[in-house]
């Protein structure tokens, strides 16, 4: 079988335009952006242009963009950076954030900071009222993801930001899965700090950014990498110029194609779901189908282990509803947060469609899954006791 990749939440291929834009910056134009000569100036201008492209995509300013290695580092700079700057205080987040947020906040909690983790609804939404109830006088920041990486639900960021600001609390969003896929405007939506990763929207791996909202006084963070004082001292270390050029170009391309891509992938996603439902009697969707990334589908094939499906289909790039932790398979904390049982989580498959996905691929995957899941179920006595909801 020709490989079919439906795992674009894990990572995306580099767009050909991004590859072309990066190419000269590996070879002919190799200067260090800090060097005070022609080679350095060219690199510095390229990095500044990339910051402008990224800022344009998310509604901020080039001077507010800090390049990092990935979203994990951006989130650490935002949250640990705020905590260390303030010295004490409290954070609010939700129970279906990415581990990059949860583990960092738990580490801060172990260092004496307060932490409240707000549960999400069974539909996969953060309820602003619950965030408001969790805010305290000493809350430093609230962190809510823009789009969930497993079920794709889009969160009411503007409403949450407004509630935070009413209490003088900063609002951070891990927007990794949303940037380049849905419109985001930090200024209009009130997002004070936004974390993103290049490889989630057809840019290269190895570069992310923390973007701050333009405001006076400037948001102050304790840098996590110190040394040469690059990027205004916010993140020391030589900027990866080719990767910066790449993420900038990826932002430019995303801005251009986002609307048409959302429309096309939404139709393909709906086609996949409709075909699966027509061919199999129980296909439950995890999370609401409203206010969701158009390219995401997360479904429960009741009574069938998704790991077993994936083992049978090595040519299919998709993901199971479990997270490998060391040696054991743990049910996904996101699906558990939505109230799914461990069995349902283990029967979940996540599909992430992308720029290169075709209708033929969707039909091949749907037909194959209908045949395979049907075969597994006919062998399994469990299935007959599972009722559709």
Q: Can you tell me which of 4, 18, 46, 71 binds ligand PLP, judged by CB under 6 A?
A: 71
Provide the angle, in degrees to the nearest 10, between the axes of the packed helices 359-379 and 241-279. 50
Give whole-number Cα distances, 132 to 54, 70, 89, 142, in Å: 30, 30, 16, 10
What is d(CA 70, CA 73) in angstroms, rounded to the nearest whole number? 6
When asked if residue 176 is in the footprint of ligand PLP (CB under 6 A), the reply is: yes
SS3 122: coil
When asked if residue 98 is in the footprint of ligand PLP (CB under 6 A), the reply is: yes
When asked if residue 70 is in the footprint of ligand PLP (CB under 6 A), the reply is: yes
Q: In the stretch 26-65, what mask flags binding to ligand PLP with x, by CB under 6 A?
A: ----------------------------------------
Residues 76-95 that bind ligand PLP (CB under 6 A): none
CB of 177 to ligand PLP, least distance (A): 5
The H-assigned helical ranges of the chain are: 16-22, 38-58, 71-86, 99-110, 128-134, 157-166, 186-189, 241-279, 306-312, 333-337, 342-346, 359-379
| Tokens representing residue 107 in the block | 């580490």
Residues 225-264 that bind ligand PLP (CB under 6 A): none
Number of residues that bind ligand PLP (CB under 6 A): 12
When asked if residue 322 is in the footprint of ligand PLP (CB under 6 A), the reply is: no
Nearer to ligand PLP, 242 or 303 (CB): 242
For 288-323, what is the HEC assignment? Answer: CCCCECCCEEEEECCCCCHHHHHHHCCCEECEECEE
Residues 281-310 that bind ligand PLP (CB under 6 A): none
Nearer to ligand PLP, 90 or 98 (CB): 98
Which DSSP letter does residue 328 get? Answer: E
CB of 332 to ligand PLP, least distance (A): 12
Provide the angle, in degrees to the nearest 10, between the axes of the packed helices 38-58 and 241-279. 30
- Cα 142 to the chain's mean position, in Å? 17
Nearer to ligand PLP, 103 or 271 (CB): 103
CB of 32 to ligand PLP, least distance (A): 25
176 has catalytic annotation: no
What is d(CA 259, CA 256) in angstroms, rounded to the nearest whole number? 8
Nearer to ligand PLP, 71 or 212 (CB): 71
| Tokens representing residue 52 in the block | 């402008």
CB of 243 to ligand PLP, least distance (A): 12
* Residues with catalytic function: 324
- Can you give the binding site for ligand PLP, defined by CB under 6 A? 70-72, 98, 100, 145, 149, 174, 176-177, 197, 208
């Amino acid at each position: 079988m020709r490989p079919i990749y439906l795992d674009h939440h894990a990572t995306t291929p580099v767009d050909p335009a991004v590859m072309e834009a990066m190419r000269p910056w590996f070879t002919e134009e190799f200067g260090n952006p800090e060097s005070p000569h022609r080679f350095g100036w060219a690199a510095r201008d390229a990095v500044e242009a990339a910051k402008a492209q990224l800022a344009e995509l998310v509604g901020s300013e080039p001077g507010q963009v800090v390049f990092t290695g990935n979203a994990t580092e951006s989130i650490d700079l935002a949250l640990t950076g705020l905590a260390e700057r303030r010295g004490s205080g409290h954070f609010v987040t939700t129970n279906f954030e990415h581990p990059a947020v949860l583990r960092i906040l738990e580490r801060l909690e172990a260092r004496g900071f307060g932490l409240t983790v707000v549960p999400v609804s069974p539909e996969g939404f953060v309820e602003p009222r619950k965030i408001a109830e969790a805010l305290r006088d000493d809350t430093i920041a609230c962190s809510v993801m823009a789009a969930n990486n497993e079920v794709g639900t889009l969160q009411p960021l503007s409403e949450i930001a407004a509630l935070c600001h009413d209490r003088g609390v900063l609002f951070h969003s891990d927007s990794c899965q949303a940037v380049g896929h849905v419109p985001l405007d930090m200024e209009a939506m009130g997002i004070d700090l936004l974390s993103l990763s290049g490889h989630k929207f057809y840019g290269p791996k190895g570069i992310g950014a923390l973007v701050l909202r333009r405001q006076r006084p400037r948001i102050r963070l304790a840098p996590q990498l110190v040394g040469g004082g690059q990027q205004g001292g916010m993140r020391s270390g030589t900027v990866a110029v080719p990767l910066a050029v790449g993420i900038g170009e990826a932002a430019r391309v995303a801005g251009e194609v986002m609307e048409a891509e959302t429309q096309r992938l939404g139709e393909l996603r709906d086609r996949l779901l409709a075909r699966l439902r027509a061919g199999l009697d129980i296909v439950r969707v995890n999370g609401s189908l409203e206010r969701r990334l158009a390219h995401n589908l997360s479904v429960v094939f009741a009574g069938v282990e998704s790991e077993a499906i994936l083992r049978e289909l090595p040519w299919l790039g998709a993901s199971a509803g479990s997270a490998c932790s060391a040696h054991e398979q743990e049910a996904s904390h996101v699906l558990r947060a939505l109230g799914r049982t461990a069995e349902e989580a283990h029967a979940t498959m996540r599909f992430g469609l992308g720029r290169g996905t075709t209708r033929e691929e969707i039909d091949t995957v749907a037909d194959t899954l209908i045949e395979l899941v049907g075969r597994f179920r006919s062998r399994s006595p469990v299935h007959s006791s599972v009722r559709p909801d």
